[in-house]
Amino acid sequence: MDVAKGALQAARPKILLLEDDSGVRRSLQLLLQAQGFDVRAYAAGAPLLSDESADEAVCLIADYRMEDLDGIAVLLRLRAKNWAGPAILITAFSSQDLRERATSAGYAVVLEKPLRQHALVETVSRLTAHRRSSET
């Protein structure tokens, strides 16, 4: 049973998706699931951080502006728990200052909203390619 579960996880790498807009969250979840990812979607930072399985994720996609914790704070807390995966910040409020803060916090990429779906899929695939191939 554990071998089958491990094979299934390797076949569908886990993505953490943090987005407070339910429509955007569901749309991105469906898009990424169609690309073969197991997407764990959260409407707020606290539930994501309390999920004990979050450390199994190969990538984080987080909105910047959230009600409880912003996307930068969430990544910093994940890093404090020794999570080392790549992260993508999405925002409708892009600025040079935000990009610099995001990069300093450990974000590999900042994507502006409205998102171009192909750009998100290409970015996630590129950032997770090494992790996906090493799990098989």
Q: Which fold has domain 2-135?
A: Rossmann fold (3.40.50)
Predicted confidence band at 115 (pLDDT cuts at 50, 70, 90)?
Answer: very high
Which has the minimum average pLDDT: 42-46, 111-115, 118-122, 131-135? 131-135
Sequence spans of domains, the chain:
2-135
Determine the average pLDDT of the residues in 76-95: 97
pLDDT at 132 over 60: no
pLDDT at 136 over 80: no
pLDDT digits (tens, 9 = 90+) for 9-36: 457 899 999 999 999 999 999 999 999 9
DSSP string, 42-80: ESSHHHHHH-TTGGG-SEEEEES--SSS-HHHHHHHHHH
pLDDT computed for residue 130 by the predictor: 76
The alpha carbon dihedral of 127, 15, 27, 104 has a sign of negative
pTM of the complete model = 0.89
pLDDT at 131 over 80: no
